Structure 1
Amino acid sequence: MPPGQLERAWEVLHVLKGLQIERTGDPLCLRVRYSVLDYSLEALEDALRDAGCALDNALYTKLVRALIYFCEETQRHNLDSPERLIKQSQEVYIQAWDQHPHGDRDDTPVELREYK
């Protein structure tokens, strides 16, 4: 690891508004809290790499990062989507079902359906 990397990472992240940064007991680790609407882990890591910080590139770390990227993207998508009103959406499906020919209707005239 390059010397002074933790201080450099602190300086890079400290200027970003909305981030909460804490030092941990580990001399090579910072704890960062942020809103997924404002930042993403991928963007923060890119900023650190651009500043010359070396991040862990072990296979396990890459898998964890990929999972976090996916989760954050899904959270942002869900938070940006309008809230669905359950009752109204069910009524739309009911109306669509009523208009759809689905086999529970008999088009045979009544006089031919009744056996006499």
Structure 2
Amino acid sequence: MKRAATRVPEVAPIRKQRAILFTRFPPGQVPEARDFLSTIDRLAVDAPSQDRVVGVAYDLRDHTLEEIEGALEDQGYHLDNTLMSKMMRALIYYVEETQLHNLDTPHRPLKRSQSEAYTHAWERHPHGDHDDTPPEWREYK
């Protein structure tokens, strides 16, 4: 008897494309940083569209922008630290961290558990259907 092969579901990649902006000084750090980034596994480095920018593409399960920029700073490269860059960087770090956290969360059917929670809360909560009038007064004619 032939046994059916069990299929392992393929996980779709979560591709991210980011632009890493460097400071103007020291000059010449962008080509060096591009060369450094090209040595990292599963990280695609794009051709520059601007002088101080290096484009990277990666799967979120392999890398995060925080990890990539941290590696650059550890190597001595200087990233742009304007207020707008810091805010965008913090937002991207947060979004990627949240996505990774949500990937680890087990799937659970929300509809069933939510309705059960509301049903139990409704039964225990004194709601608008409760009438404090004594029964004999309600039946008075």
Where in structure 2 are the equivalents of 1:1-116 lying within 5 Å?
1-97=25-121, 99-103=123-127, 104-105=129-130, 114-115=139-140
- The number of residue pairs the alignment matches comes to 116
Deviation at 1:47, TM superposition (A): 0.5
Q: Which amino acid aligns with 2:120?
A: A
> CA offsets per residue over residues 62-103 of structure 1, 9 Å max, x none?
122122222222222223222341322233224423541424
Aligned-CA RMSD value: 2.7
| Alpha-carbon distance between aligned partners in 1 of 2:114 and 2:58, rounded to the nearest angstrom | 36
Q: TM-score, normalised by structure 2?
A: 0.63
Q: Which amino acid aligns with 1:114?
A: E
Contact between 1:8 and 1:51, CA under 8 Å: does it hold in 2? no
Percent identity (aligned) = 43
Larger fraction in helix: 1
| Alpha-carbon distance between aligned partners in 2 of 1:39 and 1:114, rounded to the nearest angstrom | 71
List runs of 5+ in structure 2 lacking aligned partners. Answer: 1-24
List runs of 5+ in structure 1 lacking aligned partners. Answer: none
Q: TM-score, normalised by structure 1?
A: 0.74
